[in-house]
Structure 1
Amino acid sequence: MFKKAILIHNGNAGQDETDNRLGAVIGPLAAGTGELVLVQTEKPGDAERICAERGEEFDVVFILGGDGTVHECVNGLADLASPPVVGILPGGTCNDFSRALNLPQTLDQAAQALMQGTTRAVDIGRVNDRYFSNFLGVGLITDTSENINPQLKGKLGKLSYLISTLQTVTSADPFRFSLKYDGGTEEGEAVMIFVANGRFLGTQPLPLDADALVDGILDVAIIREAGLPLLKELFKIKSFREWDAHASSFEFIRTRELTLSTDRSMQADTDGEIYLNTPVSISLLEKRLTFLVGEDAPAGLI
């Protein structure tokens, strides 16, 4: 049992939805904590500020929201000297990071799993003076996020991401880049550079090992050309360990840190949030934050 906990929930939802969400999780959380404090965010940045200012007051911070809310909280917690344990309650469209932690995607089951599961210290990415838990991307992935129709996202959820990808992938503009990493340098043209820490993107599993969140390594894909063959290849590959460099339309690098510059300033997508621009310096903070994980999580997370 945790002595003192805080539940941060996204205030953008309507009252009925908020009541339903809280009703699904408060029972299990309250049963497993001595004191449970509820805080509702009112505007972007609130979750990060609350975590930075109050995080060390608590044994555990529960995050009820999507990947954007998780991203804010991670940025508020990562600099703390003694950050609390983190539990994610998936309340967004994709909830990719909670999937990597093997948590159920329904709120009541997720709340129960958090209280029955175990803790695991996981890696967190650092980009310039900011942090990311799941990924950083430049190029096609940023264009895809920018092209998402808000009305479609509300009605279709994760399907809107796939629709946007299909609309974008045949018309991606290449850019010139220079990438320096542990093992050398890569230069040339690409349509997307993707730096992964987590194991899911848009609800789809990435071909990464089960211990991706705890292996101390960033997985980097350099995709040099767009088109439907690229999509087929990405969906076909089950593991980057099976990747054939000579028959592939992308390159794959594993590194602990890297710097990325582009021929023009380009937006970078971090965990689905777009507010940074190239050039960027990226590194990995090994086992920086401790999360509650599902009891049947992959062996690398237990």
Structure 2
Amino acid sequence: MFGKAILIHNGSAGQAETGSRLGAVIGPLEAGIEELTLVQTKEPGDAERICRERGEETDLLLVLGGDGTVHECVNGLAPLADPPVVGILPGGTCNDFSRALYIPQELGRAAEALMQGRTRPVDIGRANDRYFSNFFGIGLITDASVNINPQLKGTIGKLSYFISTLQTAASADPFRFTLEHDSGRTDGEAVMLFVANGRFLGTRPLPLAADALYDGVLDVAIIREAGLPLLKELFKIKNFGEWDSEKSSFEFIRTTSLKLTTDQPMQADMDGEIYAHTPASISVLGKKLTFLVGEEQP
């Protein structure tokens, strides 16, 4: 049983949708929380500010929203000396980080799972002065996010991400990069560089170990060639054990920190939010925040 909890939810959703979402979770949450406060965001940045200002006042911080809202909350909570436990109620398009935490994707079931009280300290990535929970990426992944059709996203949800990626992959321009990491230095040309902390991208599992969220290491994929075969290979690989570096278009690096420079400043995508740029100093903060988790599947 939690004493005090704050539930942050997106105020940009319509009244009917907001009522439906809250109605699905309030019952299960009240069974495990003595005092629950609802806080509605009104504009971008509100969730981060609320977490920063009120995070240390509560035992539990609940986030009802998608990966973008989670990203804001992580950036508000990570700098705190005594952050609360965090629970995610998936209300977005892909909800990738919640999937890595084994949280059911139906809101009512998610609330019930969170109130079981299972917790796990997880790693958080840091890029310059900002934080990410799921990934940092440049190149193809940023282009795909920029090219998503908002109307298409609203109509068919997560499928829009893959359609945009396929369209972008056919015309991806390579860029030159230099990467300094625990094992040395890597440079050359690539179409995408992806730094993973989480285990899902666009609802699809990545070929990372089950403990990727709390192993104290970042998984870096350097993708040097564009095209549909590359995307098929990315999602076909199940784990590093199946990956053959001699036959692959990918290069994988595991590191605790890295310094990334590119020949020209490039936009960077963090958890689906695009506002950062290269160069970037990236590191992992081991077990920085504690999250409520669902029941792990065998």
In the other structure, the counterpart of 2:110 is: 110
SS at match of 2:233: helix
CA deviation after TM superposition for structure 1 residue 235, in Å: 2.0
- Residues 46-85 of structure 1 mapped to structure 2, 5 A cutoff: 46-85=46-85
Separation in structure 1 between the aligned mates of residue 88 and residue 140 of structure 2, nearest angstrom? 28
Q: State the alpha-carbon separation in 2 of the partners of residues 218 and 121 from structure 1.
A: 16
Note the alpha carbon deviations across 1:128-186, whole angstroms, 9 max, x for none. Answer: 01000000000000000000000000000000001001101110000000000000000
1:182 aligns with 2:214: no
- Return the offset for 1:117: 4.1
Q: What does 1:254-273 correspond to in 2, within 5 Å? A: 254-273=254-273
State the TM-score, normalized to the length of structure 1: 0.98
Cα distance in 2 between the residues matched to 1:5 and 1:86: 10
Give, as a single letter, the amino acid of the residue that structure 2 aligns with 1:93.
Answer: T
Which amino acid in the other structure matches residue 138 of structure 1? I
Over the matched positions of the two proteins, sequence identity in percent amounts to: 77
State the distance in 1 between where 2:228 and 2:22 align. 42
Q: Is the 8 A contact 1:62 1:87 kept in 2?
A: yes
Q: Does 1:15 align with 2:15?
A: yes
In the aligned structure 2, how far is the partner of 1:266 from the partner of 1:241? 32
Residue identity in the other structure for 2:152? L
Unaligned runs of 5+ in 1: none
Return the TM-score normalized by structure 2: 0.99
- Counterpart Cα distance in 2 of 1:295 and 1:148: 33
For 1:210 and 1:247, the matched residues in 2 are separated by 24
The 3-state SS of whatever aligns with 2:214 is coil
Aligned ranges for residues 126-205 of structure 1 at < 5 Å? Answer: 126-205=126-205
Mapped to 1, the partners of 2:47 and 2:56 lie a distance apart of 14
Structure-to-structure mapping, 1:38-49, within 5 angstroms: 38-49=38-49
Q: Indicate the residue corresponding to 2:123 in structure 1.
A: 123
Aligned counterpart, 2:224: 224
State the distance in 2 between where 1:126 and 1:118 align: 25
Residue in 2 that maps onto 1:287: 287
Q: Give aligned pairs, total.
A: 298
Q: 1:229 deviation in Å?
A: 1.4
Q: Which runs of 4+ in 1 moved over 6 A?
A: none
Give the deviation of 1:241 after TM superposition: 2.6
Question: Aligned partners of 2:28 and 2:232: how far apart in 1?
Answer: 42
Q: Contact 1:117–1:295 at 8 Å: present in 2 too?
A: no
Q: Is the 8 A contact 2:205 2:235 kept in 1?
A: no
**Deviations for 1:30-56, whole angstroms, at most 9, x for unmatched residues?**
111110000000000000000000000
1:216–1:256 CA contact under 8 A, matched in 2: yes
Q: Give me the whole-angstrom Cα distance separating, in 1, the residues matched to 2:272 and 2:241.
A: 26
Contact kept? 2:5, 2:58, Cα under 8 Å: yes
Please say if 1:36 is aligned against 2:5: no
Question: How far did 1:7 drift?
Answer: 0.2
Q: Write the distance in 2 (CA, Å) between the matches of 1:292 and 1:10.
A: 20
Structure 2 gaps of 5+ residues are none
- For residue 295 of structure 1, report the CA deviation from its aligned partner: 2.2
Write out per-residue CA displacement over residues 265-296 of structure 1, whole angstroms, 9 at most, x where no aligned residue: 10000000000000000000000000000023
Q: How large is the RMSD of aligned CA atoms in angstroms?
A: 0.8
CA distance in 2, matches of 1:140, 1:240: 22
**How far is 1:297 from its partner?**
5.2
Give the Cα separation in 1 of the matches to 2:101 and 2:287: 14
